[in-house]
Structure 1
Amino acid sequence: MIGLFDSGIGGLTVVRALLQKYPNVNFIYLGDTARFPYGNKSKETVERYAVEDAKFVIDKGAKMVIVACNTASSLAMEKLRKTYPGIPFVGVIEPAAKMAVQVSNKSIGVIGTRATVGSGIYDTVIHSLKPQIKVQQKACPLFVPLVEEGMFSDQITKIMVRRYLTSLRQANVESLVLGCTHYPFLQPLLQRFMGNKVNVINSAEAVVQEANDLYPDLFLETPDIHQKIAFTDTSAYNDDLAMRWLGKRVEIISV
């Protein structure tokens, strides 16, 4: 059983990437919609939330946890590994950075929440892999609430894309890392604005590949399939979005 958690619905992009490659894998996903967003919280608060989220999926049988949240991956990985030493944790930062470095030689743009950008984690990881690359980061705090409201291509979303990304487009970055798992919901819009020559790096796809490379035994499909999703603040909208985004019905359980 693979566990995943995020501050809200954004981690569903990781679940979708997981199911596209391993449609019959067992998983439990928690979206902490009651305490969303994490991107404007302190490190101590994000650590506490992440530990509680991880406990939920571990108690449900998870043998490995994908931290499907860039903010938690930036601020809480050390705390998670110390709290649950017997459980492997895979965050989204390193896989996305590796993917970006593979297709970039000069410059990489990174967009994320204030907490992720403020942590400097992407800059650190990218430069550890390829020191000569220029990294330009931009906090895009309104993208997450727009996604949570289902406003994937509304006019206000297009306005914010232009406001946030114009400087990165003018800088001619080779790649754009979507440093928040909510952002793949906006990927078509972001790609159109940046242009087809820019590699848009989806951290959801990257982390699934990384997790499978590290722990392939946990991705084995079994005849007895258990695929479950939980939200800390239940709503018909979240349940419906999960079904539509994943393209299949999965069990929605209570917290």
Structure 2
Amino acid sequence: MTKDAEAPLGVFDSGLGGLTVVRALRQVLPNEDIVYLGDSARVPYGTKGADTVIKYAASCARHLLGQRVKAIVIACNTVSAVAIESMRIDLDLPVLGVIEPGARAAVGASKTGRIGVLATPGTIFSQAYTRAVTTLSTRTEVFGQAAPLLVPLAEEGWTDGDVPRLAARRYLEPLARAGVDVIVLGCTHYPLFFSVIEEEAKKMMGDHVRIVDSASTVAAETRDYFQTRDLLAAPRPRAGKIRLFVTDVPRSFSDMARRFLGDEDVPEAEQVDL
């Protein structure tokens, strides 16, 4: 074990959606302490220009560095799309994003070479998943579909019932017409709709369709990365601690955090100014 192994893992997102990544990380890395930063005062990043996103990401990274983290997981698809390379150059620690793991899992799962991506308009416009998939397989086609309504539905807690099912069906229709056999959930809010999206996709496309959750894939790759570099925290009798920082505390923060984490025992958030 390296001297850095007991340091916390840093995770940040433009808001609270990245807590689905924290949830997935806790499942595969239960001994790790995690410091989470949600830039809720400047959300959404998906509508901002690349230079602005890079500047925001740098300020989030500086805060996490101040917490002496051993690595940073970017739980934001927009930042992973436009800022990850500059962060890897500028920071003297490992930086992992959600797009590359999701692309690898999708290419591995596809039998037809036709992959669909549900994401925010900013992520779709960046074509980051297309580039990541093409790097892995030049024979694979990527079909992007923006699904912006799913974000406010997740934050309102409308993750089941007629409204999210109708929204999912509408967003899935173009992917069904394209004949995809794998769909990547390219936004950290979307894992909350996993069962709804999977059910509707199977109705429209058949039982062979696979749903790839980028939160789970980045968590698995983070575990593998730590294992190969001797960065895993030592086993302990208790689960790792979570520390939550936000740049603005939403009125319904506790409810949203419980929903995203899938845990009733949510720590108090600390508000910071970046």
- TM (normalized to structure 2)? 0.86
Please say if 1:247 is aligned against 2:260: no
The whole-number CA distance in structure 2 between the counterparts of 1:48 and 1:248 is 34
The whole-number CA distance in structure 2 between the counterparts of 1:251 and 1:153 is 26
C-alpha contact 1:8 1:36 (8 A) present in aligned 2:
yes
Task: State the partner residue of 2:4.
Answer: none
Query: How many angstroms does 1:116 deviate by?
Result: 1.1
Task: State the partner residue of 1:168.
Answer: 175
The whole-number CA distance in structure 1 between the counterparts of 2:251 and 2:31 is 25
Query: How many angstroms does 1:23 deviate by?
Result: 2.1
Please say if 1:80 is aligned against 2:87: yes
The whole-number CA distance in structure 1 between the counterparts of 2:107 and 2:132 is 10
Task: State the partner residue of 2:5.
Answer: none
The whole-number CA distance in structure 2 between the counterparts of 1:163 and 1:95 is 26
Please say if 1:188 is aligned against 2:195: yes
Q: How does 1:3-82 map to 2 (within 5 A)?
A: 3-82=10-89
Task: State the partner residue of 1:102.
Answer: 108
Query: How many angstroms does 1:219 deviate by?
Result: 3.0
C-alpha contact 2:102 2:214 (8 A) present in aligned 1:
yes
Task: State the partner residue of 2:225.
Answer: 214
Task: State the partner residue of 1:229.
Answer: 244
1:184-212: CA deviation from partner (whole Å, max 9, x where unpaired): 01111111110142110000111111122
User: Which is further off, 110-119 or 218-227?
Assistant: 218-227
Q: Measured at CA, do residues 175 and 135 of structure 1 come closer, stay the same or move farther in structure 2, by a change above 3 Å?
A: same
Query: How many angstroms does 1:49 deviate by?
Result: 1.2
The whole-number CA distance in structure 1 between the counterparts of 2:49 and 2:152 is 18
- 1:135 pairs with 122, 142, 146, which one? 142
Query: How many angstroms does 1:110 deviate by?
Result: 0.8
Q: Aligned AA for 1:92?
A: V
In structure 2, stretches of 5+ residues that fail to align are: 1-7
Task: State the partner residue of 2:3.
Answer: none
In structure 1, stretches of 5+ residues that fail to align are: none
1:64-103: CA deviation from partner (whole Å, max 9, x where unpaired): 000011111001112222332x121001111001101111
1:92-151: CA deviation from partner (whole Å, max 9, x where unpaired): 111001101111132110111112111111111112212112211111122222212222
- TM (normalized to structure 1)? 0.92
The whole-number CA distance in structure 2 between the counterparts of 1:236 and 1:20 is 28
C-alpha contact 2:99 2:186 (8 A) present in aligned 1:
yes
Secondary structure of the structure 1 residue equivalent to 2:184: strand
Question: After TM superposition, which residue ranges in structure 1, 4 or more long, deviate above 6 angstroms?
Answer: none
Q: Measured at CA, do residues 156 and 250 of structure 1 come closer, stay the same or move farther in structure 2, by a change above 3 Å?
A: closer
Equivalenced residues, count: 254
The whole-number CA distance in structure 1 between the counterparts of 2:55 and 2:149 is 24
- 1:153 pairs with 160, 166, 171, which one? 160
C-alpha contact 2:25 2:219 (8 A) present in aligned 1:
yes
Q: Aligned AA for 2:200?
A: F
